[in-house]
Each structure stands twice: as C-alpha cells, then as structure tokens.
Structure 1
Amino acid sequence: MSIVNDIRTAFSRRDNALNQLLLINVLVFAALIVLRAILYVSGASGIYNVVMRQFAMPSDLPSLLRHPWTILTYAFTHEGFLHIIFNLLNLYWFGMLIREYLGNRKLVSIYILGALVGAVFFLLSFNLLPVFQARLGVPIVGASAAVTAIIVAAATLLPDYTFNLIFVGPVKIKYIAAVVVLVSIAGINGGNPGGELAHIGGALLGFVFIRQLQAGRDLGRPVQAVGDFVANLVSGRPRMSVTHRSRPAEAPAAKKGGLARPEQEEIDLILDKISRSGYESLSKDEKQKLFKASQK
C-alpha cells in the first residue's frame, strides 16, 4: 500500500525528526482506536484497559516499577481527538522553529527530556504532596509535557518571533508560552492536576535546555547517544573509529556541547540578535552560519 510506503519512507530519512514524532503519535492513536473497536464488537472491552496499562504511566510507584517503560510511552499515547489534535498542532508549529534553528537532534532531545521531566514532576507531586494522595494511582497519557517543553524552548530561543493567530492577529511566541504556562498553573486545582504538573515540568525543561545550550552545554547529548546506539543496532552498522598519525595545525575547537559550529560565541551573538530584532534582521552570512550550526 502507498500509505505503508509513505510511512516507511518517513522513518528511513534521518532529517525528518518532526514528521517522525508526529507519525508515531498518530500511529499509536490510530492503533488504539482500531483495537478498541475490535475488542468492543467482540465483547472483550475489558482487555482494552489491560492494553492501556502498557502505555499510560501510573502515578503510584509500585505500578510504575512493574511498567517502567511507561515513563516514556505515555508521551506518545492519546485518548480523544481534541487531545491529540491540540498537541500535534503545537508540536508542528513550534517544532518547525526548533528544527529550523537547532536541527532535528535537538528537537528530539527536547521532546524526550520534556516528557521525562514532566513524568518526574507528576510522580513526585502525587507521591510527596498530601493534597494529591487521594488521586494516587491515576495514570497519565499524552504528549503535552513534551510539547510544552518545545513551546517554551522555542519562546526562549526566539522570544520575539511572531505567529499570526486566527481572530487575534500577530502575537509574539513568548506571550503564547507565558499563557500556556499560566493555564497549566491555574489548572493544578482542576480536574487534571497530574497533566498540568507534567506541563510545568516540561516547560521548565524547555527553558533550561535553551539557556544551557546558549551557555555551551547540550543537555540532549545522552538522548542523542542512546538514539545513535539504537539506530546502529537497527541498521546493523558498527561504529567506525578513525585514527590519524598526525594532525595539521587547526583553529581552536569550539566548546563541547551546545552549538558547536561555527564558534559558540559567534552563534550566541546571532541568537541574541534574533531575540532583539527577529530572524529577518540577520545578514545572509549570519543565516548561513546559523544553518550550518543546526546541521548536526
């Protein structure tokens, strides 16, 4: 089928991280819908809850210890069309900015780390704060923590970048991110406190990730290392090691981590200029340097 070929092609490309994240969420959502319908018509609806326990992350630690993989799978699992549509639209809009300015690897790193930090906020709050003890055991699903991390990361990197919103007009993304965080804080005492706490954890990760990146430290290196390891296993390609007997003199290396080429200080200046005056204020040479820095 052409759909299967399209999916295979999307996952075979190494420069397609945003579409791959979107596709994973959609495929899991579609598979669960089909499974739920099949189980319903076959009179075995109860099995669906058993399946969901393999994806949703529980808030009580004993259950989590039995299903440790859910600390990540929950961030690719949705129930309800509005839930997934809202998350994927935001992932697409803000993910495009992260991919354009920082590259695919940074986008995936922010998504994964946002999901993990959101999970930690959710777990700590439900297990340590008495106000949530009555709800202990309630699971969490959805990419909201990861998507919130990407929203805040984009707003931290490009605070004055403007989106044209329907019925509103041009709005700087720093204000969009601020509204997202405030809504999450306001929702803690509502019907979905776990989800809102996870959002706040993701938002914090997005902010810290960009600040550390601008300081020359890439918090996503462990995620990228694991991704490379898994990719090598799947492709069957061994890691190659190259040694040189002698090396010619070369310019001092950029600081490890963060944005490594061109020089870190030069990239920081370009990002500061974007924050002050917008992407359109960059010269052609500056745009090329920023593009080269994102190709990692």
Structure 2
Amino acid sequence: MYSQHNPYQMQPRDYWTSIKRFFNQKSVLSKLILINILVFVLLNSINLTLFLFSIDQEFVLANGVSRITYWLSLPADLSALAFKPWTLLTYMFVQEGILHLLFNMMVLYIGGQIFTNYLSEKKLLSTYIFGGLAGAFLFILSFNLFPAFSNHVANAIALGSSASVLAIFVASATRVPNLPLQLILFGRVPLKYIALAIIVLDVLNIRNGNAGGHIAHIGGALYGFFMIRQPNKGKHLDALFGKFSFGSFLNQFKKPKTKFKNVYTNPKPQKDEDYLRKKAEEQARIDVILDKIKKSGYESLSAEEKAKLFNASNRH
C-alpha cells in the first residue's frame, strides 16, 4: 500500500495563502493587479445596477459599450480625444470582460515577477504606463493614417491593459530571452519564443477583427523591446517616476496632520583664537579630573566629573 497523494500538489488553501501573501507584499506589481481588479469590479457593479433597474438602455451606446466604460476608453478620433484626454491613462486599467481580465492579469503576474528579478519596481511602473501610452499612440496613429480604418475612426475605441502588460512581458523576454517558461501543452519554452508568438499572432489578426486592440498590443510590445535594448533612451522617462510611489500618491487624499515645526539655526562661526581658547580651557578641566583619578581613584569623582570625562572621551 502507498499513498497516491502528491506532497507537492498545492491544495486550495495553499493557493489562497499564496494569493494573500502576494497582495500583502504591497509591491508595485500587486498594486497594479489590484487596481485592475477593483476597476473591473466597480464598473461591472455599476453596469449591473443600471441593468437591474432597467435604466441601462440610456447608458448604452450604439456599439454596445456603456457610457461609463466609453468615458474611460481611448477614442481613435482626435476631436473626441481632445474632450477626454484622461483616457490616455484610464484605458489601460479598463478590461472588456472577465476572460480579458484573467488573461491580462496572469500574463502581468508572470511577466512582472520575472521583470522585478532583474529591474526595479519603479521601472516596472514606468514600463506599464509608457507601454500603455505607446500602444495608445500606435492605435491613434494607425486609425488616422491608414485608409482601411477611415470608416471606423469615429467610433473606434481601445480599452484594456494588454499593451501595458505586453510591454512588461516583452521587456522581460528581451532581458532574459532564454529563460524557460513551463507551458501546459508545450513544456519548457524559452521566453523569447513565447513573446515572439504573441506578437506574430497580433500582427496576423489585425485583419480579423479588433484591429485597434492588436495594434495597441504591438505598440506596447515595441516599447518593452526598445526600453531594454536602448535603456539610455528611456532614462528621462523613468525620471518622472523617480519619486513616485503608490503610498505617497494615496496619502495626498488623507487629511494632513498638524506637525510641530523645528527651526534650526546655524551657529555663528567661531574665530580661530576663540576656538583654541575654549579648547585649552576644556582640556585643563579634563587634566584636573585625571589628576584626581591618579590621587584618589575613579570612584572619588562626582557624577558631574564622570559625565565630563565620558563626553570628552567620546569626542576624541
């Protein structure tokens, strides 16, 4: 008789413990994932509430997107973008559906863990943001440049963190291209081949629907690649995040506490002769104490004399 239980197989409670441990780290990676999840839950809760009270029709546009989601999504039309420029940032935190969210967060988790093994957390944050902006730029440029999209530019929108996530994943693959990743169906595959396969699939699927999404993905991937290959080019961008932290950002919304202000003044510099005179006087007092120790021992000193001797020995 032998047990078929695999001691290395994680139980459900082990998964839950690992998840709690990950979010308790309060790292940039865990906060990015948490923000994406919270935005998804909030938007879907609002849309569900509107549906239950039969008022969702007033908030759904012709393309099936709710007005709330639309105001957070990135438009390809430049005139629409001028009225909601915040979407350059908000679009990269808005997921289309649960599968969209799960896939992006899984890739972000894997790519982010590898990324932070070799680069800083602030670099991870800047790559997420600027990778998303690169995807936004290529999306807007393509829809306003290529004739194939001229009939769609007015209604085209982009949403999702895929461009940001791919920027991080491709950056990781560029940094450690031969690092193997265990895939369920294919076994151990070097990171560079996985990243290349994702990019190729995006290029091939531009004609097959969701062209804007695939183009944005490519923009994010290109940023991640060049950020690693030409790191000096992006130093001025990273400088924007040099003093940024999620904690300090959130603290801006807290009520400031009144603090006592300490005022420090620089003492007036002493002249050389004054300094030497004070030094000689101090040394004379120490010599008197030392003579007393020679005659009567250390125990004969008063508490004040012991303190003076102790302070003098520390200064020297």
164, 168, 177: which is aligned to 2:195? 177
| Residue aligning to 1:47 | 59
Shift of 1:53: 2.0
SS in 2 for 1:170: strand
Give, in whole Å, the separation in 2 of the partners of 1:182 and 1:203: 11
**Residue 82 (1) aligns with residue 99 (2):** yes
Give, in whole Å, the separation in 2 of the partners of 1:93 and 1:145: 15
List alignment gaps of at least 5 residues for structure 1: 1-5, 238-296
Shift of 1:55: 0.9
Check conservation: 1:209, 1:218, Cα contact below 8 A. Answer: no
List alignment gaps of at least 5 residues for structure 2: 1-18, 61-65, 258-316
**Residue 31 (1) aligns with residue 42 (2):** yes
| Residue aligning to 1:22 | 33
Check conservation: 1:153, 1:206, Cα contact below 8 A. Answer: yes
The residue type paired with residue 47 of structure 1 is F
| Residues 220-251 of structure 1: per-residue CA shift (max 9 Å, x gap) | 222445658846745769xxxxxxxxxxxxxx
Relative contact order: is structure 1 or structure 2 higher (C-alpha 8 Å, sep ≥ 6)?
1
**Residue 167 (1) aligns with residue 179 (2):** no
Give, in whole Å, the separation in 1 of the partners of 2:46 and 2:147: 37
| Residue aligning to 1:134 | 151
Shift of 1:214: 7.0
Shift of 1:135: 1.2
Shift in alpha-carbon separation, 1:159–1:226, aligned structure 2, 3 A: same
| Residues 26-47 of structure 1: per-residue CA shift (max 9 Å, x gap) | 0011111111110001111032
1:80-119 to 2 correspondences below 5 Å: 80-119=97-136
SS in 2 for 1:167: coil
Check conservation: 1:209, 1:219, Cα contact below 8 A. Answer: no
Check conservation: 2:227, 2:234, Cα contact below 8 A. Answer: no
Shift of 1:165: 0.5
Check conservation: 1:28, 1:77, Cα contact below 8 A. Answer: yes
| Residues 141-166 of structure 1: per-residue CA shift (max 9 Å, x gap) | 10010011011100010001111100
User: 21-30 vs 228-237, which deviates more?
Assistant: 228-237
Q: Whose radius of gyration is greater, 1 or 2? A: 2
54, 61, 65: which is aligned to 2:78? 61
Percentage identity across aligned positions?
38
Shift in alpha-carbon separation, 1:150–1:57, aligned structure 2, 3 A: same
Give, in whole Å, the separation in 2 of the partners of 1:59 and 1:44: 28
SS in 1 for 2:230: helix
Give, in whole Å, the separation in 1 of the partners of 2:234 and 2:122: 16
Check conservation: 2:76, 2:139, Cα contact below 8 A. Answer: yes
Give, in whole Å, the separation in 2 of the partners of 1:210 and 1:219: 13
Cα RMSD after superposing both structures:
2.6
TM-score under structure 2 length normalisation: 0.67
Give, in whole Å, the separation in 2 of the partners of 1:180 and 1:186: 10
Give, in whole Å, the separation in 1 of the partners of 2:250 and 2:234: 26
Shift in alpha-carbon separation, 1:214–1:166, aligned structure 2, 3 A: farther
| Residue aligning to 1:253 | none
TM-score under structure 1 length normalisation: 0.71
| Residue aligning to 1:269 | none
Give, in whole Å, the separation in 2 of the partners of 1:226 and 1:119: 22
212, 225, 234: which is aligned to 2:230? 212
181, 185, 189: which is aligned to 2:207? 189
User: 46-55 vs 118-127, which deviates more?
Assistant: 46-55
**Residue 71 (1) aligns with residue 111 (2):** no
Check conservation: 2:227, 2:233, Cα contact below 8 A. Answer: no
Check conservation: 1:24, 1:76, Cα contact below 8 A. Answer: yes
| Residues 225-283 of structure 1: per-residue CA shift (max 9 Å, x gap) | 5658846745769xxxxxxxxxxxxxxxxxxxxxxxxxxxxxxxxxxxxxxxxxxxxxx
Which stretches of structure 1, 4 residues or more, deviate above 6 A after TM superposition? none
Give, in whole Å, the separation in 2 of the partners of 1:189 and 1:10: 39
